[in-house]
Structure 1
């Protein structure tokens, strides 16, 4: 049996400066630049850190790299839209005029946008995401 001490989510970017500015200034996350250009640590509430590493031949993920659990998707969508963030629209989901899926993940709401490297990030609220992941 493998003994896992901690899970460290990771994803790549082709521009550390733009990525840092987006996650720090636009989303308001605590971001730490790692020594010698090794990457960034996105420090999330609850103690989780996400490692973002530079990759010259970066290709954006074609899937959601992470969902950010928020208190109120509507409020966050409004705030981010005011900062110039565009929300994605997907076939197969009924999305309202803001791009929000109502009743996403067992009762909460959800929405998606891309970061400067083109990676897809989701927002989710409600008990569904908490119940799903514990």
Structure 2
């Protein structure tokens, strides 16, 4: 197939996360995860209903208030980290609870071996949106 436009791989990708209430989301994303907002403003007709958070040196998460919040159980975004144990410990100390899934082996903190090597731990925001932190070792 021949493309007449520049392929999407040439552009930065930002994930969008629907939340049921922006105030509760701000408490979680900023207060517990320690993300810094790069922008805040309206989301559709909701004044101050959206935030863009930076991660890894650029915009990464678009969090916006929507009736579709928490509609998927799939992992929506993964942070690739060097020190998974340290990150899990810091997030746990901030009140983040790590998920445990039937059929997977987890250590005491909720970290599980990743398929193909490495390790991974999942957590959810207050709306049930699932995220992961992952490391190759």
* Same-fold status (TM-score > 0.5): yes
1:115 aligns with 2:121: no
SS at match of 2:133: strand
| Over 3 Å off, 4+ runs | none
TM-score, with normalisation over the residues of structure 1? 0.80
Match of 2:37 in 1: 31
Q: Which is richer in helix?
A: 1
Match of 1:12 in 2: 18
1:84 aligns with 2:106: no
* Offset, 1:38: 4.5
Match of 2:45 in 1: none
- Partners of 2:13 and 2:116 in 1: CA distance: 25
Note the residue ranges of structure 2 that are not aligned, 5 or more in a row.
43-47
| Rg larger for | 2
Note closer, same or farther for the CA distance 1:26–1:108 as it changes in structure 2 (3 Å cut): same
Q: Cα deviation per residue 1:43-72 (whole Å; 9 max; x = unaligned)?
A: 111324221121035234211111111221
Report the RMSD for the aligned CA atoms in angstroms: 2.0
Q: Which is richer in strand?
A: 2
1:57-72 alignment runs, 5 A limit: 57-72=68-83
TM-score, with normalisation over the residues of structure 2? 0.79
Does the Cα contact within 8 Å between 2:19 and 2:64 map onto a contact in 1? yes
SS at match of 2:25: helix
- Partners of 1:46 and 1:106 in 2: CA distance: 28
